[in-house]
């Protein structure tokens, strides 16, 4: 990311008086820190084999998440991809239940059926993390269609990675949303890597927000390391969607670790890694708050201890939560009960075996 593409940072207020803007920044920092500690605790649980499957972390994405979700109202809908623990936690879902989902337990947000990639919570209107790249984009578009159909004032926010912008579903969806004036904000989290492939190597137009032009859709790019800039950009996008005009927002972000927990990211150079650390949005905001005299080092440490307590409690809660009983295996195949559904466990026959001849003779 070149400096020219970064949005102007919010002006630093004079140190001393805790203004409303300062309080807001402190709140952002608390939320970003919780995501950070939650994901670090998740990585630890994964390496301890308490979490299975794939596990993609939001490390580096904290400012983007907090900025985006600040612009939403509680009644708005959120669709994400498979890198979504931080979205779930920041949307207000109990971290205990998010961690329990990662552990595959009954108290998990998806009752242990979804795992890391498939968090869902109706009450908080998080309508899913989706594991297939691009899969959520048409579905989220349809949610916006339902809102428009009913004349509602909610909007849909649909996040995706930079790699998603090359899949057909992205283009089909943006075209539909623009044609039908749907209340949706498409958010590209551009962390500059789709697994190990750079945006430049995969996208003929690497300034991804420009793809909105193909659909005459308003679009912008924002610095995803600055929560204040992200909120400002997201508020414009959300207002557009609420007025019935979809919006494409590119949030230039970072991925501090590999694609997933098990990826050592050997395709990155040492210089690149050092640069990533230098731009880490969480310590950057901490330094900003200290420099502005808003928070002391002691206050920062206390906030950190509080975040660590929450995530440790989440891990303990998840550990103590019951695993689903195998008798519930067939509970969620169909919403409307239907005749002749197979409820056969793998070794069982379709029909009871015929009686043995000697038994029928007696």
Partner 1 sequence: MAIMTYRRALHDTLRDEMLRDERVLLLGEEIGVFEGSYKITAGLLEEFGPRRVRDTPIAEEGFTGAAIGAAMLGLRPVVEIMTINFSLLALDQIVNHAAKIYGMFGGQASVPLVIRTPGGGGQQLGATHSQNVELYYAFVPGLKVVAPSTPADARALLQAAIRDDDPVLFLENLALYNTKGDVPDDLPPAPIGRARVTREGRDLTLIGYSRTAHVAAQVADQLAASEGLDIEVVDLMSLRPLDRATIVASVRKTHAAVVLEDDWLTYGIGAEVAATISDGAFDDLDAPVRRVAMAEVPLPYAKPLETAALPSTDDVIAAIYQTLDAVGRRHLKVGHD
CA 209 to chain CA mean position, Å: 19
Query: Which residue in 298, 354, 359, 362 binds partner 1 (CB under 8 A)?
Result: 354
Tell me: does residue 143 bind partner 1 (CB under 8 A): yes
Contact indicator for 220, 6 with CB cutoff of 8 Å: no
Residue 358: CB minimum distance to partner 1, A: 14
Q: Which is nearer to partner 1, 34 or 109 (CB)?
A: 109
Q: For residue 293, state whether it binds partner 1 (rule: CB under 8 A).
A: no
Q: Of residues 200, 270, 335, 347, which one binds partner 1 by CB under 8 A?
A: 335
For residue 132 the two structure tokens come to: 């297939």
Identify the residue among 169, 217, 219, 307 touching partner 1 (CB under 8 A). 169
- Which region among 11-19, 49-57, 301-309, 343-351 touches partner 1 (by CB under 8 A)? 343-351
Per-residue contact string for residues 188-227; x = within reach of partner 1 by CB under 8 A: ----------------------------------------
Sign, CA torsion 85/88/89/95: negative
Neighbours of 86 (CB within 10 A): 27
| Structural tokens at position 333 | 């195949």
Crossing angle (nearest 10°) for helices 281-291 and 20-47: 150
269 lies in the site for partner 1, by CB under 8 A: no
Q: Does 127 bind partner 1 (CB under 8 A)?
A: yes
Nearest 5°: CA angle at 116, between 308 and 120? Answer: 100
DSSP letter assigned to residue 51: S
Dist CA 242 CA 134 (whole Å): 23
Residue 340 interacting with partner 1 (CB under 8 A): yes
Q: Which residue's CB is nearer to partner 1, number 169 or number 232?
A: 169
The residues near 362 (Cβ < 8 Å, ≥ 6 apart) are: none
The CB-of-197 to partner 1 minimum distance in angstroms stands at 20
Cβ-based nearer residue to partner 1, 172 or 304: 172
Joined together, the tokens standing for residue 141 give 């578009």
Give yes or no for residue 333 binding partner 1 (CB under 8 A): yes
Residue with smaller CB distance to partner 1, 37 or 118: 118
Of 140 and 285, the one with the shorter C-beta distance to partner 1 is 140
The residue among 67 and 112 lying less far from partner 1, judged by its C-beta, is: 112
Selection from 80, 77, 81 nearest residue 144 by Cα: 77
Please name the helix (run of DSSP H) or strand (run of DSSP E) that holds residue 193, with its range, or none: strand 193-194
Is residue 135 part of the contact set for partner 1 (CB under 8 A)?
Answer: yes
- Both tokens of 39, joined, read 């994901």
Shortest gap between Cβ of 119 and partner 1 (angstroms)?
8
Q: Quickly list H helices, the chain.
A: 20-47, 62-70, 85-90, 95-102, 136-150, 168-180, 199-202, 227-242, 270-278, 281-291, 297-320, 357-361
The residue assigned the tokens 């793998």 is: 346
Q: 4 or 350, CB closer to partner 1?
A: 350
Residue among 106 and 202 whose Cβ is closer to partner 1 = 106
Where do contacts with partner 1 occur on this chain (CB under 8 A)?
Answer: 77, 108-114, 118, 120-122, 127-128, 130, 132, 135, 137-147, 149, 168-169, 172-173, 175-176, 179-180, 331-336, 338-342, 349-351, 354
């Amino acid at each position: 990311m070149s400096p020219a593409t970064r949005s102007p940072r919010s002006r630093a207020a004079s140190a001393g008086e805790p203004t409303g803007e300062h309080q807001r920044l402190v709140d952002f920092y608390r939320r970003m820190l919780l995501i950070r500690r939650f994901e670090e605790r998740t990585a630890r649980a994964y390496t301890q084999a308490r979490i299975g499957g794939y596990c993609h972390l939001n490390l580096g994405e904290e400012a983007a998440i907090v900025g985006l979700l600040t612009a939403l109202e509680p009644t708005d809908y959120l669709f994400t991809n498979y890198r979504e623990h931080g979205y779930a936690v920041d949307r207000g879902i109990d971290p205990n239940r998010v961690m329990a989902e990662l552990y595959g337990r009954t108290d998990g947000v998806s009752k242990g059926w979804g795992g890391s990639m498939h968090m869902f919570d109706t009450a908080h209107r998080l309508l899913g993390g989706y594991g297939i790249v691009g899969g959520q984009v048409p579905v989220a578009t349809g949610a916006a269609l339902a809102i428009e159909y009913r004349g509602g004032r909610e909007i849909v926010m649909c996040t995706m990675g930079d790699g998603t912008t090359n899949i057909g579903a992205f283009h089909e969806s943006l075209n539909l949303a623009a044609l039908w004036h749907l209340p949706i904000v498409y958010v590209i989290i551009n962390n500059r890597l789709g697994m190990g492939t750079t945006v430049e190597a995969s996208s003929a137009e690497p300034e991804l927000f420009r793809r909105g032009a193909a659909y005459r859709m308003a679009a912008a790019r924002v610095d995803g390391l600055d929560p204040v800039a992200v909120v400002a950009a997201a508020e414009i996008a959300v207002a557009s969607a609420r007025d019935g005009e979809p919006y494409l927002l590119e949030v230039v972000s970072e991925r501090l670790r590999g694609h997933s927990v098990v990826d050592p990211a050997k395709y990155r150079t040492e210089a690149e890694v050092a640069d990533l650390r230098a731009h880490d949005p969480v310590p950057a905001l901490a330094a900003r708050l200290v420099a502005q005299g808003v928070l002391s080092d002691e206050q920062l440490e206390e906030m950190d201890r509080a975040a660590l307590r929450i995530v440790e409690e989440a891990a303990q809660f998840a550990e103590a939560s019951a695993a689903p009983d195998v008798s519930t295996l067939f509970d969620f195949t169909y919403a409307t009960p239907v005749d002749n559904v197979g409820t056969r466990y793998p070794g069982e026959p379709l029909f009871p075996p015929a009686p043995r001849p000697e038994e029928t003779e007696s």
